[in-house]
Amino acid sequence: MSDDLFTPLTLRGTEIPNRVTVSPMCQYSCEAGDGLATEWHRVHLGSRAVGGAGLVLTEATAVEPRGRISPQDLGIWSDDHADALAPITEFIRDQGRVPGIQLAHAGRKGSKTRPADGSVPLQPDEGGWETLAPSDHYPYGGDEPPATRRMDSDDISDVVTAFELSAERALDAGFEVAEVHAAHGYLLHEFLSPVANDRDDEYGGSFENRTRLVREVTAAVRDVWPDDKPVFVRVSATDWLPDRDSWTVEDTVRLSGRLADAGADLIDVSAGGLHPDQQVPDGGPNYQVPYAERVRKATDAAVGAVGGITTGQQADALIRNDRADLAIVGREHLRDPYFALNAARELGMSDRIDPPVQYQRVF
């Protein structure tokens, strides 16, 4: 009998009770500059756990202050950040769900106002900061981007260490899954793509060199993450820049095996985000799932699929048809915090998921 949406998934020694995952989605809801989780984060993430999702991932959580997208981004660069996140992970676990954190560095796409304020580049005297990138020629929109430094070897070493230390803090905070964010045009993706990386050292040029940093970061996180808990890596399968020498699905398939060798247990397959000229396909149902399917066929690691997943029947079919191991649901979870509970009812599987005792009379 094939797996379905409500079959548990065990990765290493961690059991995810069902295949519904809350995708990382930035909330831009910290007090400006401090990166500390707030009541908004507790209610936002906690309500999705109440809603039945087997795995609840935080938004992109910056491993250092320069790794934020906006001053209101969530962070994990100090023990205070771990302390602020600990009550959230405790609540998620109390619901029988698994808390996960996405560790991130925005790189060249940082130092912006939040989207509600226009995503306008911020200069240092406006609360912004100098951003980091593999190369100094690469803008990402805005009339006057903040100053960017081409990273030297010390910067690269510091970033690897920042991911490692942040993983240790995340573990102290009670997270059970650590995801490395290497997608959507942020720092690690910038190193991967020849569109953003014109280096001629050991971190640029060849496929081996351009993938070196994400492999080092994945290995560093794996080194400090317990053997019985999984590490994920989110990748952009393609830059959606067909007319340029860019990152492609074939590159992603090739990288996925190397990431598995570095300690990744699941590849979270998204796409795009690197350059404003990207040609995004019409976002119909499952529009990014074929990328995940390609990766799944080529690697021993588990795979998560994203993109236009809006119904329980659709998510269930992804698992039943062996297209992915997790259905990673973003925007639909903003519309419906109880997506998993409602999917179980829609599919006639309410006996396969445990709603909170307070809600049992309706589910």
Residues marked as catalytic: 186
Measured distance CA(167)–CA(225) in Å, rounded: 7
Count Cβ atoms below 10 Å from residue 363 Cβ, excluding itself.
15
CA distances from 114 to 28, 34, 41, 110 (A): 6, 15, 16, 10
Query: What residue type is assigned to position 351 of the chain?
Result: D
Q: Could you tell me what percentage of the chain is helix, strand and coil, using 3-state DSSP and rounding each to the nearest 5?
A: 35, 15, 45
Residue whose entry in the numeric block shows the structure tokens 């936002």: 44
Query: What residue type is assigned to position 277 of the chain?
Result: D
DSSP letters of 175-239?
-SEEEEEE-TTSHHHHHH-TTT----STTSSSHHHHTHHHHHHHHHHHHHS-TTS-EEEEEES--
Measured distance CA(226)–CA(13) in Å, rounded: 10
